[in-house]
Amino acid sequence: MTGRQGLHRIGQTNGVILRRTSIRWRMENRSVNPDEIYLPSCLFGGSAGMKLRPLLLLTGPVGGVPEVLVAYLSSGIPPRVLPSDILLDPGAAGHAPTHLKTTSVLRLHKLAAIHAWNVVRRLGVLSSCRASTM
């Protein structure tokens, strides 16, 4: 047998990987900074199903097993906005760099520490003037 036909026998392989389905980024190779908005690959905010919810990084990676402190972002604006809530309107000039699709609320009373490798996709960045008010 030649080529790929000889690679697989019944239940056996010769250790050759023909194709990778995904390659996970390692945090040491990426730079993540506070005030950046990311999508995580984990449950966050007590949701029942797996749903990518945006979050704001409050710290960079910390510790031997790197973790980041994050704040929860929600498109569901509560009827009574708390003093710890910050509204982000992507239509406003100062909030355009966030790349959010809809008006969202940053819930600073909902904080979590998650493993840095769960930070997957960068959406945008919080404007420096808004970040300084936190």
The enclosing domain of 65 has a CATH number of: 2.30.30.110
User: In this model, does residue 14 exceed pLDDT 70?
Assistant: no
Greater confidence (31 vs 106) lies with 106
pTM reported for the whole predicted model: 0.67
Q: Which amino acid is at 130?
A: R
Q: Which domain holds residue 47?
A: 28-132
| 94 in any annotated domain | yes
Task: Produce one character per residue of 100-127: b if its CB has 16 or more CB atoms within 10 Å, e if not.
Answer: beeebbbbbebebebbbbbbeeebbbbb
| 50 in any annotated domain | yes
What's the domain count of the chain?
1
> Which residues are within 8 A (CB) of 16 and not within 5 positions of it... i.e. 6 or more apart?
7
119, 117, 121: which is closest to 99 by C-alpha?
A: 121
| 68 in any annotated domain | yes
pLDDT for residue 34: 87
| 10 in any annotated domain | no
| 102 in any annotated domain | yes
Specify whether the CB–CB gap between 75 and 103 falls below 8 A. Answer: yes
| 71 in any annotated domain | yes
Average pLDDT estimate for 74-91: 90
CA distance 86 to 53: 16
| 11 in any annotated domain | no
